[in-house]
Amino acid sequence: MKNNIHPLSDVQTEHIGENTMVWQYCVILKNAEIGNNCNINCNVFIENDVKIGDNVTIKPGVQIWDGVTLEDNVFIGPNVTFTNDLIPRSKQYPLEFSKTLIKKELLLVQILPLSQAILLVKMP
Protein backbone atom coordinates (compact mmCIF):
# COMPACT_ATOMS: atom_id res chain seq x y z
CA MET A 1 0.00 0.00 0.00
CA LYS A 2 1.55 3.32 -1.04
CA ASN A 3 -0.77 5.67 0.86
CA ASN A 4 -4.50 6.06 1.35
CA ILE A 5 -6.08 9.48 0.78
CA HIS A 6 -9.81 9.87 1.36
CA PRO A 7 -11.57 11.23 -1.77
CA LEU A 8 -13.18 14.04 0.27
CA SER A 9 -9.78 15.52 1.17
CA ASP A 10 -7.92 18.23 -0.76
CA VAL A 11 -4.34 16.94 -0.88
CA GLN A 12 -2.14 19.07 -3.14
CA THR A 13 1.28 17.74 -2.12
CA GLU A 14 2.98 14.82 -3.78
CA HIS A 15 5.34 14.40 -0.81
CA ILE A 16 3.45 11.80 1.22
CA GLY A 17 5.22 8.67 2.42
CA GLU A 18 4.12 5.07 2.15
CA ASN A 19 1.40 3.65 4.39
CA THR A 20 0.18 7.12 5.36
CA MET A 21 -3.56 7.58 5.87
CA VAL A 22 -5.29 10.92 5.20
CA TRP A 23 -8.92 10.98 6.33
CA GLN A 24 -11.87 13.04 5.05
CA TYR A 25 -12.03 16.85 4.94
CA CYS A 26 -8.27 17.41 5.26
CA VAL A 27 -6.49 20.17 3.35
CA ILE A 28 -2.78 19.66 2.74
CA LEU A 29 -1.01 22.32 0.65
CA LYS A 30 1.44 21.56 -2.15
CA ASN A 31 4.82 22.03 -0.43
CA ALA A 32 4.06 20.09 2.76
CA GLU A 33 6.18 17.00 3.41
CA ILE A 34 4.67 14.03 5.24
CA GLY A 35 6.61 10.89 6.18
CA ASN A 36 5.81 7.18 6.15
CA ASN A 37 3.19 5.41 8.26
CA CYS A 38 1.43 8.58 9.43
CA ASN A 39 -2.23 8.92 10.39
CA ILE A 40 -3.78 12.31 9.54
CA ASN A 41 -7.31 12.31 10.98
CA CYS A 42 -10.32 14.24 9.62
CA ASN A 43 -10.58 18.04 9.49
CA VAL A 44 -6.82 18.71 9.59
CA PHE A 45 -5.20 21.68 7.82
CA ILE A 46 -1.49 21.51 6.88
CA GLU A 47 0.12 24.57 5.29
CA ASN A 48 3.05 24.66 2.80
CA ASP A 49 6.23 24.99 4.91
CA VAL A 50 5.46 22.01 7.15
CA LYS A 51 7.57 18.89 7.65
CA ILE A 52 6.10 15.81 9.31
CA GLY A 53 8.30 12.80 10.14
CA ASP A 54 7.51 9.09 10.15
CA ASN A 55 4.95 7.37 12.42
CA VAL A 56 3.20 10.63 13.34
CA THR A 57 -0.44 10.68 14.48
CA ILE A 58 -2.44 13.88 14.07
CA LYS A 59 -5.92 13.77 15.62
CA PRO A 60 -9.02 15.63 14.28
CA GLY A 61 -9.27 19.40 14.08
CA VAL A 62 -5.53 20.17 14.12
CA GLN A 63 -4.11 23.19 12.25
CA ILE A 64 -0.44 23.18 11.30
CA TRP A 65 0.85 26.46 9.86
CA ASP A 66 4.05 27.35 7.99
CA GLY A 67 7.26 26.82 9.94
CA VAL A 68 6.20 23.74 11.93
CA THR A 69 8.32 20.58 12.00
CA LEU A 70 7.11 17.39 13.68
CA GLU A 71 9.87 14.82 14.08
CA ASP A 72 9.32 11.02 14.07
CA ASN A 73 6.87 9.26 16.42
CA VAL A 74 5.04 12.42 17.53
CA PHE A 75 1.40 12.40 18.68
CA ILE A 76 -0.68 15.58 18.24
CA GLY A 77 -3.97 15.48 20.15
CA PRO A 78 -7.37 16.74 18.98
CA ASN A 79 -7.89 20.42 18.11
CA VAL A 80 -4.28 21.50 18.69
CA THR A 81 -3.54 24.71 16.78
CA PHE A 82 0.01 25.83 16.13
CA THR A 83 0.74 29.50 15.56
CA ASN A 84 3.56 31.15 13.66
CA ASP A 85 2.69 34.80 14.34
CA LEU A 86 2.06 35.87 17.94
CA ILE A 87 0.54 39.22 16.89
CA PRO A 88 -1.36 38.49 13.67
CA ARG A 89 -2.93 41.37 11.75
CA SER A 90 -5.04 41.33 8.63
CA LYS A 91 -2.94 41.68 5.47
CA GLN A 92 0.22 42.51 7.45
CA TYR A 93 2.82 39.75 7.40
CA PRO A 94 6.09 39.42 9.31
CA LEU A 95 9.33 39.25 7.34
CA GLU A 96 9.74 35.70 8.63
CA PHE A 97 7.29 33.47 10.45
CA SER A 98 8.28 31.85 13.75
CA LYS A 99 9.51 28.24 13.64
CA THR A 100 8.19 25.44 15.85
CA LEU A 101 9.97 22.13 16.36
CA ILE A 102 8.25 19.22 18.11
CA LYS A 103 11.03 16.78 18.94
CA LYS A 104 11.06 13.05 18.34
CA GLU A 105 8.66 10.90 20.41
CA LEU A 106 6.77 13.76 22.07
CA LEU A 107 3.08 13.86 22.84
CA LEU A 108 1.38 17.25 22.42
CA VAL A 109 -1.98 16.91 24.06
CA GLN A 110 -3.46 20.38 24.01
CA ILE A 111 -2.74 24.06 23.87
CA LEU A 112 -5.05 25.98 26.19
CA PRO A 113 -5.54 29.45 24.67
CA LEU A 114 -6.36 31.31 27.90
CA SER A 115 -3.31 30.19 29.86
CA GLN A 116 -1.03 29.37 26.91
CA ALA A 117 -0.27 26.07 28.63
CA ILE A 118 1.31 23.29 26.60
CA LEU A 119 1.51 19.71 27.79
CA LEU A 120 4.50 17.95 26.28
CA VAL A 121 5.15 14.41 27.42
CA LYS A 122 8.04 12.17 26.37
CA MET A 123 6.50 8.88 25.28
CA PRO A 124 7.87 5.73 26.98
What is the structure's pLDDT at 35?
97
| Contact of 46 with 27, CB cutoff 8 Å | yes
Sheet holding 63-64, edge to edge: 10-11, 27-28, 45-46, 63-64
Helix H, strand E, coil C: the string for 16-79 is: ECCCEEECCCCEECCCCEECCCCEECCCCEECCCEEECCCCEECCCCEECCCEEECCCCEECCC
Q: Give the pLDDT of residue 123.
A: 56
Q: Can you spell out the DSSP letters for 74-121?
A: -EE-TT-B--S-SS-BTTB--SSPPPEEE-TTEEEEEEETTTTEEEEE
Mean pLDDT of successive 10-residue segments in the chain (124 residues)? Answer: 90 97 98 98 97 97 94 91 85 86 74 49 56
pLDDT at 3: 82
pLDDT value at position 86? 79
Q: What is the pLDDT of residue 115?
A: 45
pLDDT of residue 114: 44
